[in-house]
Structure 1
């Protein structure tokens, strides 16, 4: 193992926590005997290009400093390679880190866990989802929650998380089920009406919403949560349960397990954009497959 490792930093994550967290993380890694190089990017595509270049050059590890957005970019660079990934989770949601029992908003602790893993077992192999050439670690979302994302991304005011609260209220007013065709592995297509369909490699999205609360990242399977047609009042009653994962017991909720899933909506139906790890993938149809042990994560429980 080379002692040269790369910090992959999103300085804007968590309202500036990314920039503030890089220094204590780097200090811990250097104190552990590693040579640390920091990579930033002018934008997401430039950052990804630089991260891939570091991996191709043989860095001993890529350590992502930021939130789920920078982790998503880091997965594109490390998945399917022998380069392990460390996560210094200091963003707003940190769902990937939480699912793996990694320290959250503790840059020194996260860096220490990564250093110990590099000197020890080299990290834990975990599964990832893949849609085409795009990898994801947590959840692929479609339906109501993806339409909230779409609307929120179009709004110029208000800013921050309030923008998505406004988008949520607007989408509730227009709530409607979507006709889906869901194909699990090589089985027959299921025709269902659904408020949303979430494909979980990990358990949560949106900063702790355990939409796929039973998902595991080492079993080679997705948990696919289907929320059937429901009224606005039902959705509002069930929504708070998502943070505990107890929504899975509701009669409107069905969970399937499969290694590959295809989501389709009929021609002329607005199924919205699919989002994975909070990043847009594009409109349905989409096919996702699990890739067992696609990346090694440093310090994962």
Structure 2
């Protein structure tokens, strides 16, 4: 049976990044009033703890929680939802640089159109990644990358994002590509044997997109109960060139330097420490466990934009 849109009496509460630029709250409030009327309210918070407290309150009241921002905002909101006694339905209002989770869900990337989805869309179960870092737990909606990818993120400045938009990721990547570092990493998949590998990059994907909307895991789905693991081994300059061309052609997963696997659990250990960028947010540690959480969260999406897998014939 098809899911139905949320009730017109269900409260919709929009949460904006507390560090959003001047005027963002007023613009969001005006857009929400146009699309949703009195059903919607923008909740202003001053810290992550304050945001978590308010999200838990909305969950207790049976409302819809909307992450208004980019993937970093989504990351904070889903981590608050996953610690609630009964997580609310999640809605999205893309206001960030890349909005990768919205891309995967087939959501409009214009705020006014995305707010209309909150009114007319249907709750759909979506997978998440649970990441255990040493003794801490975080949840991730999109992609976690480590290796030289985190050096690109470190090179970004806030003014770059505002001036260059999604192109800022490519701009920051160019100097890193001329000085790639190798990382010694232990990897085990679904409880199998541990492999010690020298790597340029590691990608653990729930969805397809990372950075400025780059399709880094083209076979990933948000509803297959699996994680996509992409390991890029160290090599020579010519390997980098062929990898780049393969990426642009959409077939880099077949490159000889790339190991691609799918799994429900992935264990990664880096004796020298490692920084994963999950939903654009840094997670540092030595031992990481990634676990697929099938259907962990209900997300409002356009009725026909995100087709769940219904039978084995649809699975890869």
Distance of 2:141 and 2:112 partners within structure 1: 23
Q: How many pairs does the alignment contain?
A: 285
1:13 deviation in Å? 5.3
> TM (normalized to structure 1)?
0.84
Distance of 2:102 and 2:253 partners within structure 1: 22
- The answer on 1:127 being equivalent to 2:131 is no
* 1:193-231 Cα distance to aligned partner (Å, 9 max, x none): 211110000111102111111101111100001111123
Pairwise CA RMSD:
2.7
The structure richer in strand per residue is 2
Q: Is the 8 A contact 1:39 1:51 kept in 2?
A: no
Distance of 1:243 and 1:8 partners within structure 2: 36
List runs of 5+ in structure 2 lacking aligned partners. Answer: 1-6, 307-316
Residue of structure 2 aligned with 1:289, choices 288, 291, 303: 291
- Gap change, CA 1:191 and 1:77, over 3 Å in 2: same
Distance of 2:21 and 2:212 partners within structure 1: 12
Distance of 2:158 and 2:103 partners within structure 1: 28
Q: Is the 8 A contact 1:183 1:263 kept in 2?
A: yes
SS at match of 1:284: strand
SS at match of 2:296: strand
* 1:1-26 Cα distance to aligned partner (Å, 9 max, x none): 65222111237658966752442133
1:29 deviation in Å? 1.5
* 1:141-200 Cα distance to aligned partner (Å, 9 max, x none): 111102332x326xxx79424786675355334323212211111111122221111000
Residue of structure 1 aligned with 2:72, choices 69, 73, 80: 69
Q: Is the 8 A contact 1:126 1:293 kept in 2?
A: yes
1:178-193 alignment, distance < 5 Å: 178-193=183-198
In structure 2, the partner of 1:202 is 207
- Gap change, CA 1:165 and 1:127, over 3 Å in 2: closer
Distance of 2:14 and 2:124 partners within structure 1: 19
- Gap change, CA 1:98 and 1:158, over 3 Å in 2: closer
Distance of 1:200 and 1:137 partners within structure 2: 9
* 1:234-268 Cα distance to aligned partner (Å, 9 max, x none): 43553465466432222211211001111112x3x
Distance of 1:18 and 1:194 partners within structure 2: 42
SS at match of 1:38: strand
- The answer on 1:27 being equivalent to 2:34 is yes
1:258-297 alignment, distance < 5 Å: 258-265=263-270, 267=271, 269=272, 271-297=273-299
- Gap change, CA 1:198 and 1:19, over 3 Å in 2: farther
SS at match of 2:185: strand
1:1-301 alignment, distance < 5 Å: 3-10=10-17, 20-30=27-37, 35-55=39-59, 57-79=60-82, 81-104=86-109, 106-117=110-121, 121=122, 123-132=123-132, 133-149=137-153, 151-152=154-155, 159-161=159-161, 168-232=173-237, 234-236=239-241, 238-239=243-244, 241-242=246-247, 245-265=250-270, 267=271, 269=272, 271-300=273-302, 301=306
Distance of 2:235 and 2:249 partners within structure 1: 20
> TM (normalized to structure 2)?
0.80
Distance of 2:158 and 2:30 partners within structure 1: 32
Distance of 1:208 and 1:194 partners within structure 2: 23
* 1:47-88 Cα distance to aligned partner (Å, 9 max, x none): 333323322x32420112111111111211223734100111
Q: Is the 8 A contact 2:246 2:255 kept in 1?
A: no
Q: Is the 8 A contact 2:18 2:47 kept in 1?
A: no
* 1:90-119 Cα distance to aligned partner (Å, 9 max, x none): 211010000010111x222212212113xx
